[in-house]
Amino acid sequence: MAISAEDHARIAAAIRAAEAKTSGEIVCVLARSSSEYHAVPVLAAALLALIAPWALVFLTQWSVERILVAQLAIFVLVTLICALTPLGMMLVPWRIQRIRAHRAAMEQFHARGLGRLESRAGVLIYVSLAERYARIIADDQLAAKVHAGEWRGAIDALTAHMREGRVAEGFVAAIDRCGAVLAEYAPGGHSGKLPDRLYVV
């Protein structure tokens, strides 16, 4: 999903508007993938390459040398297919995808300075496209005050647009919802300590 300069500007404007009535901060991160899964294509290819010779032994009259060459070709071909197409991601267990995406979101929360705010009202809106993962992470003090349903509403607004390929609209909708929450639970003037922008990683 491509993000244009106009999309970046709309998201930045939405963040500024949402933060105008709060001492909190909103940071948006869009990741193409939360992790590298290099081992998956290799493991899938190795497994298929180990199984294939048995079928070739029983179904063909090929020589051992020819079977070994076929085994190597299968390994290389399957590795490339899994590495260069969405098939590789489909082979990654859903639980592993969720764990890695959540870990990446937490890393972004701290890397972007949201855990060091005096207001203790930092909010991260994180989306990872490869894992189809969206999460809102709030500072612990803020999260203790806000019902989880408030954040769920923002995620639902975000993902509804994302499913239709409208990334910018999804972020703007989530930012508006989070801004309303921050205005209620962390009112005050905007500190302007963090950049109002979408980070694409």
Cα-based distances in Å from 95 to 35, 44, 79: 13, 18, 22
One-letter-per-residue 3-state SS of 26-80: EEEEEECCCCCCCHHHHHHHHHHHHHHHHHHHHHCCCCHHHHHHHHHHHHHHHHH
Residue numbers in the chain where pLDDT is lower than 50: none
pLDDT for residue 71: 87
pLDDT tens per residue, range 25-44: 999 999 998 888 778 788 88
pLDDT for residue 134: 94
pLDDT for residue 173: 95
Q: Where in the chain is the domain with CATH 3.10.310.50?
A: 5-35+93-200
User: What whole-number distance in Å separates Cα of residue 20 and Cα of residue 183?
Assistant: 9
pLDDT for residue 1: 62
Q: What CATH number was assigned to the domain covering residues 5-35+93-200?
A: 3.10.310.50
User: What whole-number distance in Å separates Cα of residue 137 and Cα of residue 193?
Assistant: 18
Please check whether residue 28 is in contact with residue 175, taking contact to mean a CB–CB distance below 8 angstroms. yes
Please check whether residue 105 is in contact with residue 134, taking contact to mean a CB–CB distance below 8 angstroms. no
Nearest to 107 by CA among 99, 95, 119, 96: 99
pLDDT for residue 9: 93
